[in-house]
Amino acid sequence: MSGPRPFANALEMLRSAGLRPTRQRLALARLLFDKADRHVTAEQLHGEAVSAAVPVSLATVYNTLHQFIGAGLLREVVVNPGRSYFDTNVSDHHHFFLEESGRLVDIPGDRIDVSNVPLPPAGTAIRRVDVIIRVERDED
Amino acid sequence: MSGPRPFANALEMLRSAGLRPTRQRLALARLLFDKADRHVTAEQLHGEAVSAAVPVSLATVYNTLHQFIGAGLLREVVVNPGRSYFDTNVSDHHHFFLEESGRLVDIPGDRIDVSNVPLPPAGTAIRRVDVIIRVERDED
DNA sequence: TCAATAGATTAGACAAATTCTAAAGAAGCG
DNA sequence: CGCTTCTTTAGAATTTGTCTAATCTATTGA
Ligand SMILES: [Mn+2]
Ligand SMILES: [Mn+2]
Ligand SMILES: [Zn+2]
Ligand SMILES: [Zn+2]
């Protein structure tokens, strides 16, 4: 269903990223990647770690999330002012955003076409295209 | 070039929105709408007002921006965590975002095609589609 | 095996953006 | 003018995220 995970285990993943496999990073990597793709906030992930009896500070959660982004293991999604989501799906894709619940739902990159894009401003090159489809509860 | 402004003056605009034309709201409306379309932060607009010797607090700037959004005179653009842009262009359009400078550049809605969009999650309806094209300085 | 060292974690202070509160001021209306 | 409602405001509070400096730990190689 979802493609094979690129890393057999968290240890190998951290090694490949050049990050020491500490207790905290191993635990966070497992929470993030051992299940299906997810969109979590830093607070949520910290809460999960604490619930799983993993001693880790919020500062380390932020440090680790940013290191994982730097290693290409995560990406950041900004849909709301004042709070970031961290996305374990790093393939080319877009999002539905359900404003009432704050949930993000993936849209595979090949399920949406963005075409006829004008040239970027002089001296700049496109780094990424983000499509956010904001949805609301339907009046039934 | 840009279509005719829907309101001859700030006073009429506020009246139509059902907002009392106070000194602060009149001044902010003129700063926002008397020139070409713009993307400003609350701090920027407050700075402009203070420079123009308009006595207004930052709290009132935020109040007014949100009232203008409620009246459909402005929209909010979120591209970065921790800071919002307020966009005086409320027509259907998208954005280039220049990360180095923090500038937003409009892309007219008819200059970009988003097609083949999947159905939104059950029980939801599309409210808005935002395309953010993130660009970076080109290596020359 | 065991220091030495570089890198990691942490508590708590700090910062930035925004919202809230409650009191004082101004607009609309008769 | 006087009453009522809406608006503004200073400053406190809140939220999200970053920084600092002290402590801890993984790695390495003698
Ligand atoms: Mn995955
Ligand atoms: Mn305009
Ligand atoms: Zn995603
Ligand atoms: Zn715009």
Q: How far is the CA of A63 from the centre of ligand 1 (A)?
A: 20
pLDDT at residue A139 above 80? no
- Shared domain for A16 and A39, answered yes or no, is yes
Domains in chain A: how many in total?
2
Candidates A105, A107, A120; nearest CB to B96:
A120
- Shared domain for A71 and A140, answered yes or no, is no
pLDDT at residue A8 above 70? no
- Shared domain for A21 and A57, answered yes or no, is yes
What whole-number distance in Å separates Cα of residue B9 and Cα of residue B101? 32
Footprint of strand D on the protein (CB under 7 A): A 20-23, 41-43, 58-59, 62, 66, 82-84; B 19-20, 22-25, 55-57, 59-60, 63-64, 81-82
What whole-number distance in Å separates Cα of residue A44 and Cα of residue A55? 15
- Shared domain for B72 and B101, answered yes or no, is no
Q: How far is the CA of B63 from the centre of ligand 3 (A)?
A: 33
CB contact under 8 Å between A78 and B83, yes or no, is: no
SS3 A123: coil
Range of the domain at A106: 91-140
- Shared domain for A97 and A64, answered yes or no, is no
Chain B CB contacts of A139 under 8 Å are 125
B34 touching chain A per CB within 8 A: no
What whole-number distance in Å separates Cα of residue A89 and Cα of residue A3? 11
Residue B100: enclosing H or E segment and its boundaries?
none
How far is residue B104 from each of residues A11, A21, A50, B93, measured CA to CA in Å? Answer: 41, 40, 39, 12
The arithmetic mean of pLDDT across residues A11-40, rounded, is: 96
pLDDT averaged per 10 residues, chain B (length 140): 63 96 98 95 98 97 98 97 96 95 94 89 95 90
Per-residue model confidence (pLDDT) at position A140: 67
Chain C bases closer than 7 angstroms to a protein Cβ? 7-12, 16-21, 26-28
Q: How far is the CA of B37 from the centre of ligand 3 (A)?
A: 32
Q: In which band, very low, low, confident or very high, does the pLDDT at A5 lie, cut at 50, 70 and 90?
A: low
Q: In 10 A of CB B133, how many CB atoms?
A: 23
